Structure 1
Amino acid sequence: MAIEVEGLGFRYGGREALTDIGFRLGQGTFTALLGPNGAGKSTLFALLTRLYALQDGEIRLLGQSIRRHSASVMQHLGVVFQQSTLDLDLTVMQNLEYHGSLHGLSRREIRQRARTELERLQMAERLHERVRNLNGGHRRRVEIARALLHRPAILLLDEATVGLDTRTRADLNAYVRGLCRDLGLCALWATHLIEEIAPEDRVLLLHRGRLRADASALELCRRADCDSLAEAFERLTATPEQAA
């Protein structure tokens, strides 16, 4: 298994942010983590990436516990956060060189891999431009290239398309799906945008810190007795007052 989560719980002071979360994701799979704002998606990602220390439960990446093997297991992880972490005053290549050096790559390896990843993303001609001069969609492509530079087995994307236009969102979504298919990556794509999820996609539905469903989008529609995922999402995340 690429990702195994068991009995995961997390609290901010006395407030429960995640309660008894559990799921398993295999290699070469694309999984949507769906939930409204405040559902706990970013907290889950912070735990998966070790930004937050585990409180309750266990996370294993490629069979290794992140409690006991955090340094080695993080080498297999690529992450695109909701908020951009690129240095705007550096060029695209300088941003990638800095990231690659943190993973122990030689300058030659970094340059070769950077060109390969940017060519896949149709960004090779922007290699020496300052990030500040790129639009939002191009910056996201650079962040994906950076996340893939050290050739991880797992790719986490936390609301990676926020603020992008419809065409750019669709292009990036299709690109990540291609990586799962062609390179065997395990991708966990967190979103609150229904249009980014295909009917056959596996969906982890998170709401108020609990995993409300783990099924395909089609199955969620069947369970909610409706025709669209948008309607199923509304029904499955309704409060008792709303349901009434």
Structure 2
Amino acid sequence: MNTDAVLRCTEVSKRYGRTQALDAVSLSVAPGEMVALLGPNGAGKTTLFQLLTGLYVADSGAVEVLGADMRREPVRALAQLGVVFQQPALDLNLSVRASLRFHADLHGLPSSVSRPRIDELLQRFGLAEVAGKPARELSGGNRRKVELVRALLHAPRLLLMDEATVGLDPASRAQLLEEVLQARSERGLGVLWATHLVDEAEKAQRVVVLHKGKVLWDGTAQALCADRGAASLQGAFLKLTGGQKNATTA
């Protein structure tokens, strides 16, 4: 485990009735590091993100964001992270700018800070021309970009991306991934990117393979391929998970 981590999960477990959704999951994300959480649907990725964002509490184990324990200090922990959820979470009737101002108010950002920051991010992500439009008039790709801007607005140290490209066309998927990679590089963000798409996981510096609630691998994609004697991450993933064709390339 990384000792200088923006995110640290230690032996995190969660059960729903008879289903063990997560079983002693440990992982970390360092500043400026992108970690891909790769796993098929039902692997436990969404459950883990629910714990990381304070929506649910782990049965056992600990989640820390920059040293703040999610159970004991949820406000301090949540203030340090930004999230783009799998399900769209924009008010379709609000304009782009109004949505961002509302989010800034929730984080207690004064207008002297939030207004220039909103302008900068809208320009940075190519959204300045649609800032006055309601979200319902935007393309799916641009809606996702607005959600990414919103997640970055309060200058978090950790960015969580939960299957954020679901429903996007290939060009929009690639663009969103590139924007996150650039933000990571420019801002020193730690990024945890949950996905079932191998081509997205290949862009990360480390890959954590989650399968049936357990971490089966935590390391580089290259090391995983070498360990499994596979020519590609896709092949290594299939070998690691028993040959089940759950991860895809697009």
Relative to the length of structure 1, the TM-score reads 0.95
Q: Which moved further from structure 2: 106-115 or 148-157? A: 106-115
Equivalent-residue separation in structure 2 for 1:54 and 1:207 (angstroms): 18
Unmatched runs of 5 consecutive residues or more in structure 1: none
2:247 corresponds to: none
Q: Helix, strand or coil: the match of 1:5?
A: strand
Equivalent-residue separation in structure 2 for 1:148 and 1:31 (angstroms): 18
Tell me whether 1:42 sits opposite 2:46 in the alignment.
Answer: yes
1:188 corresponds to: 192
Tell me whether 1:156 sits opposite 2:150 in the alignment.
Answer: no
Counterpart of 1:78, as a letter, is G
Q: Deviations over 1:90-116 (max 9, x none)?
A: 100111111111101123432211111
- Note if contact 2:11-2:61 (Cα within 8 Å) is conserved in structure 1: yes
Q: Deviations over 1:62-114 (max 9, x none)?
A: 01211111111211110000001100011001111111111011234322111
- Please point out which of 41, 58, 77 is paired with 1:54: 58
Counterpart of 1:154, as a letter, is L
1:169 corresponds to: 173
Matches within 5 A, 1:1-244: 1-198=5-202, 201-238=205-242
Q: Helix, strand or coil: the match of 1:231?
A: helix
Equivalent-residue separation in structure 2 for 1:49 and 1:194 (angstroms): 24
Give the CA deviation at 1:197.
2.5
Q: Which moved further from structure 2: 134-143 or 226-235? A: 226-235
Counterpart of 1:67, as a letter, is R
Unmatched runs of 5 consecutive residues or more in structure 2: 245-250
Q: 1:105 to 1:187 in 2, by over 3 A?
A: same
Q: Which moved further from structure 2: 230-239 or 19-28? A: 230-239
Give the CA deviation at 1:201.
2.6
Give the CA deviation at 1:118.
1.4
Q: CA RMSD in A?
A: 1.3
Q: Helix, strand or coil: the match of 2:25?
A: strand
Percent identity, please: 44
Equivalent-residue separation in structure 1 for 2:34 and 2:28 (angstroms): 12
Equivalent-residue separation in structure 1 for 2:236 and 2:133 (angstroms): 44
Relative to the length of structure 2, the TM-score reads 0.93
Counterpart of 1:65, as a letter, is D
Q: Number of matched residues?
A: 240
Q: Deviations over 1:30-69 (max 9, x none)?
A: 1101000000000000000000112110011101211111
Q: Helix, strand or coil: the match of 1:138?
A: helix
Runs of 4+ in 1 over 4 A off after TM superposition: none
Q: Deviations over 1:177-233 (max 9, x none)?
A: 111111110000110011113366300000000001001111111111110111111
Equivalent-residue separation in structure 1 for 2:204 and 2:84 (angstroms): 24
Q: Helix, strand or coil: the match of 2:79?
A: helix
Q: Which moved further from structure 2: 146-155 or 198-207? A: 198-207
